[in-house]
């Protein structure tokens, strides 16, 4: 194919060095896109991974299209904060800060993503620590962030296998994850 006639070229592209620069950027960007069709372990390691990561971070073009690449396992979720009263009884309160608003029902995508990611990301405990310290701070000076009897409770009902649902007649099984201000999260049955 013949090159595009000059009269058809955009004014911005008439300058040769601008054209070359833009052309190089476009070819580079196209290359970073095509590479991302390859399996993650091939493109995220070594120098390729480093260069690709920095470029995609700066341009906001991370290519992690993992939308429902496997089954969603949570049937229902509820989240609350619990503060233990002087008698030792846990008192539930809304977990959404600021303002201790209740976890939205029906559920909203951003909220369930947030608390679900908190349960499995390595830094989940750190996010929970910060949230609990903030909640204690908002509750008042009586609450010492280090020793506050505050707990973040994430109740998730996990869908059983289809075979399990047919056999037991139960759709999901409840698992509660509790985050406390200090120490590791506990997974209660």
Partner 1 sequence: MASLRQSILRLQNTLLWVCEDERIYAAVRIGFALVAFANLVLLWPDRLVFLSNRGLVDQGVTIAHHPWIYLSVFQWIENPAGITSVLIFSGFCMLLLALGILPRAAALVVFLWHLSFVARAPLVVTGWDQVLQAFSFLVLISPMGRAWSLVSSWRPAVVAMVPRYGLTLMRLQVAVIYLQTVLLKLGSPYWRNGEFMTYYLLSHNSRRPGNWVLPYEGQLGLVTFVALLAECAIPFLLFAGRTRFWGFLLGFLLHGGISLVSRNLEMFFATMLMTYLAFLRDGDVEKIGQWFRSKPAPE
Q: Which of the residues 34 through 93 are near partner 1 (CB under 8 A)? A: 34, 36-37, 39, 53-54, 57-77
Q: Is 13 in the site for partner 1 (CB under 8 A)?
A: yes
The residue among 86 and 110 lying less far from partner 1, judged by its C-beta, is 110
Is residue 142 near partner 1 by the rule CB under 8 A? Answer: no
Separation between Cα atoms, residue 127 and residue 117, nearest integer Å = 10
Q: Out of 15, 18, 21, 25, point to the residue binding partner 1 (CB under 8 A).
A: 25
Residues 154-173 binding partner 1 (CB under 8 A) are: 159, 162, 165-166, 171-172
By CB under 8 A, how many residues form the interface with partner 1? 74
Residue 96 engages partner 1 in binding (rule: CB under 8 A): yes
Residues contacting residue 28 through CB under 8 Å, at least 6 positions apart: 55
Question: Is 141 one of the binding residues for partner 1 (CB under 8 A)?
Answer: no
Place of tokens 């690709």: 52
Q: Provide the β-strand partners of residue 76.
A: 157
Spatial CB neighbours of 143, under 8 Å, sequence gap ≥ 6:
83, 136, 137, 150
Which residue in 112, 128, 125 sits closest to 74, CA to CA?
112
Nearer to partner 1, 47 or 87 (CB): 47
Name residues contacting partner 1, limited to 100-139 (CB under 8 A). 101, 106-114, 117-118, 121-123, 126-127, 130-131, 134, 138
Contacts 24+ apart (CB under 8 A), 108-113: 111/79, 112/74, 112/77
């Amino acid at each position: 194919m013949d090159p595009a006639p000059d009269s058809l070229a955009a004014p911005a592209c008439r300058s040769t060095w601008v054209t070359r620069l833009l052309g190089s950027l476009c070819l580079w960007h196209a290359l970073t896109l095509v590479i991302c069709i390859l399996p993650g372990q091939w493109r995220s390691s070594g120098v390729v991974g480093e260069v690709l990561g920095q470029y995609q971070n700066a341009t906001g073009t991370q290519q992690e299209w993992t939308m429902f690449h496997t089954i969603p396992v949570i049937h229902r979720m509820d989240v609350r904060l619990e503060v233990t009263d002087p008698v030792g009884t846990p008192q539930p309160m809304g977990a959404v800060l600021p303002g201790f608003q209740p976890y939205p029902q029906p559920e909203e995508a951003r909220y369930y993503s947030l608390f679900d990611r908190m349960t499995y990301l390595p830094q989940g405990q750190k996010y929970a620590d910060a949230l609990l310290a903030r909640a204690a701070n908002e509750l008042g000076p009586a609450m010492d962030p280090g020793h506050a009897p505050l707990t973040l409770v994430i109740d998730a009902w996990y869908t059983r296998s289809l075979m399990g649902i047919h056999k037991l007649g139960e759709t999901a099984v409840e698992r509660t994850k509790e985050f406390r201000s200090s120490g590791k999260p506990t997974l209660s049955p």
